[in-house]
Amino acid sequence: MLSSPVRRGTPTAAFGAGLVAGGCLTATALLVVGSLVRAPLPQPARWAVVAAALGALLLVEWGGWAVRVPQNRRLVPESVFRFGRHLGPLQFGLEMGTGARTYLPSALPYAAATAVALLASPAAALCAGAGFGLGRALMTAAAVRYPGPDGDEHGRAWSDEWSRHAGRLAVLTSAAVVAALAAVAVAG
């Protein structure tokens, strides 16, 4: 993917827009499903569920609980690029941004999804969805800006670094999720 036309020029913007749109789409779906679940639950009970889910998912993320969270074990097919220079990357980003159409190698999105489903207003859900897309765009942008020693700019060097520092990165990203949830909590 990182060696695809997504890497440069206006297709990059289309890819980013697709990521954000995909995140917003999933957040909206979570909001609809969550509205059915949250109705009988008072706010403290909803926070308790979010906290319990967060605790369990942190255990999974850090390897303390050998449970595989659901993910769609497939790559977005490169055939999406048949849609053209902009619609192809847009479709690619949309599928990747939903978090449901391709690999999701972390448990942390489920913590965000639980919070959106049980706590978010419509505006907050869209903010979270857009943030998810931007987070995935940040990953892509950073990966192509991390060339390997042989000039490889296709993300392999980034993936190698991620694997090398996986434990530290799990702690940092988990702490970022916890801090962001704390910000949501203090805002009421």
Among 73, 79, 151, 152, binds other proteins (CB under 8 A): 73
How far apart, in whole angstroms, are the C-alpha atoms of residue 84 and residue 151? 28
Q: 122-144 vs 87-98: helix axis angle to the nearest 10?
A: 120
Residue where the block lists tokens 């690029």: 81
User: Whole-angstrom Cα distance, residue 61 to residue 59?
Assistant: 5
Range 127-186, binding other proteins (CB under 8 A):
127-139, 141-143, 145-147, 158-159, 161-163, 165-166, 168-170, 172-177, 179-186
Nearer to other proteins, 40 or 73 (CB): 73
Closest to other proteins by CB, 11 or 23: 23
The residue to which tokens 């009988």 are assigned: 40
> Does position 52 bind other proteins by CB under 8 A?
no
Indicate whether 87 belongs to the interface with other proteins (CB under 8 A): no
Q: Which residues are within 8 A (CB) of 21 and not within 5 positions of it... i.e. 6 or more apart?
A: 90, 93, 94, 97, 133
By CB under 8 A, name the binding residues for other proteins.
23, 27, 61, 73, 99, 103-106, 108-109, 111-112, 115, 120, 123-125, 127-139, 141-143, 145-147, 158-159, 161-163, 165-166, 168-170, 172-177, 179-188
